[in-house]
């Protein structure tokens, strides 16, 4: 049996700190002016996962891509329970990046943003994307 995680990008997460197994980290990576991901070389399908072996839509090869850090909120909520090391309340949102995939972000403020509100990803917190609302 192959050893778990060998040959795949892994990162220690909360589970491994308490005796669980390290797992592949599929969270999007923020690079200052872009969110890193991949895009299908044939059908242009975007993904925030950087280690996809092939396109989930058409099985063509994926190539590295840089996506915009802005986009509209697809869904948002405020979480009022402890999750891992996160203390409530904190805001979560799914954001459709302007030229890319839908990504999960933590909101800088624990507020429920209206659907379609514009946000900008400004950084990371413990590996998760953090976004703030863009007011025009």
Residue ranges binding Zn ion (CB under 5 A)? 40, 42-43, 45, 55, 57-58, 60
Query: Whole-number minimum distance, CB 58 to Zn ion, in Å?
Result: 3
Query: Whole-number minimum distance, CB 39 to Zn ion, in Å?
Result: 9
21/42 with CB nearer Zn ion:
42
Query: Whole-number minimum distance, CB 41 to Zn ion, in Å?
Result: 8
What are the Cα distances from residue 133, in Å, to 31, 38, 92?
19, 25, 12
39/106 with CB nearer Zn ion:
39
What are the Cα distances from residue 20, in Å, to 13, 41, 76, 130?
9, 36, 30, 26
91/100 with CB nearer Zn ion:
100
45/110 with CB nearer Zn ion:
45
Residue-wise burial string across 52-74, b where 16 or more C-beta atoms lie within 10 A, e elsewhere: beebeeeeeebeebebebbbbbe
Is-cis flag, bond preceding 89, omega within 30?
yes
Among 117, 65, 73, 66, residue whose Cα is nearest residue 96: 73
Query: Whole-number minimum distance, CB 99 to Zn ion, in Å?
Result: 16
């Amino acid at each position: 049996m192959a050893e778990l995680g060998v040959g795949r990008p892994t990162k220690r997460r909360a589970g491994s700190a308490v005796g669980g197994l390290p797992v592949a980290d599929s969270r999007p990576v923020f690079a200052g002016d872009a969110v890193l991901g991949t895009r299908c070389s044939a059908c242009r399908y975007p993904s925030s996962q950087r280690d996809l072996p092939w396109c989930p839509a058409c099985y063509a090869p994926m190539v590295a891509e840089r996506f915009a850090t802005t986009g509209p909120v697809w869904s948002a909520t405020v979480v009022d329970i402890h999750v891992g090391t996160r203390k409530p309340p904190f805001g979560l949102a799914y954001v459709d990046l302007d030229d890319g995939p839908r990504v999960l972000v933590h909101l800088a403020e624990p507020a429920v943003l209206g659907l379609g509100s514009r946000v900008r990803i400004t950084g990371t917190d413990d590996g998760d994307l953090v976004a703030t609302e863009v007011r025009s």
